[in-house]
Amino acid sequence: MTGTALFRSTRAVPRPVALAAAAFVVALLAGVAEALARAAMTLDRPDADVSGLALESAVRGAIYLVVFTVVVRMTRGGRIARLALALGLGVLGLASLLVEPLTTLAADGLDLSVTASSLTLGTLRAIHVLAVLVAIPAMYAPGAREYFARRATP
C-alpha cells in the first residue's frame, strides 16, 4: 500500500504509520474546527478584537500547515519528523490542550452547567486529544519502528 496521492511514498507505508498519519490529520482538523468555533464565539461579542483575532488565526494557520507538512514527511519515513511529532504534539501539544481545562477545574471546581458552545468545544478538544493519543503509539508500533529504522527516502 502506498497511500493516497498526498501521502504517496516510494516505499510501502506500514499500517501503523498510515494510522498515525490519519490520526494526526483528525487532530489537526479538530484543532482547526475548535479555533474556528472560538473565533466565531469571539466575533459574536460586541467588544471583539478583530485584528487580534486575525493575527491569532494567521499564526494558528501557519502552525497547522507546518504540522501537516511534518506529518507528510513522517509518512515518507522521516525519523526527525517522527521525533518532532512525538515531542511537539505528544508532549507540548497535549500539555497545551490539557492545561486550560485542568487549571479551570482547579480554580473553579467542577461546573456541570453545559451550553451548546461548551459542549462543542469540549467535544472538539476531546477528539483532538484522543487522536494524538492514537497517533503517538502508532508511530512506535513494531511495523512503524522497522519502517523508520531503514534509511528514509528523500
Secondary structure of residue 108 in the 3-state scheme: helix
The pLDDT assigned to 114 comes to: 79
Q: Would you state the pLDDT for residue 1? A: 45
Residue 67 confidence (pLDDT): 96
The pLDDT value recorded for residue 129 is 96
Contact 79, 148 (CB under 8 A): yes
Distance CA 24, CA 28 (A): 6
DSSP category for residue 130: H
* pLDDT value, residue 48: 84
Whether pTM exceeds 0.95: no
Q: Fill in the amino acid letter for 43.
A: L
Query: Mean pLDDT per 10-residue run, the chain (154 residues)?
Result: 53 91 97 94 88 92 96 94 95 91 80 83 95 97 88 52
Cα separations (Å) of 62 from 20, 66, 70, 80, 85?
21, 6, 12, 20, 16
* Other Cβ atoms within 10 Å of 135 Cβ, number: 25
Q: How far apart are the first and last CA of the chain?
A: 19
Instruction: Say how many CA atoms lie within 13 Å of 116 toward its Cβ.
Output: 2
pLDDT confidence of residue 11: 66
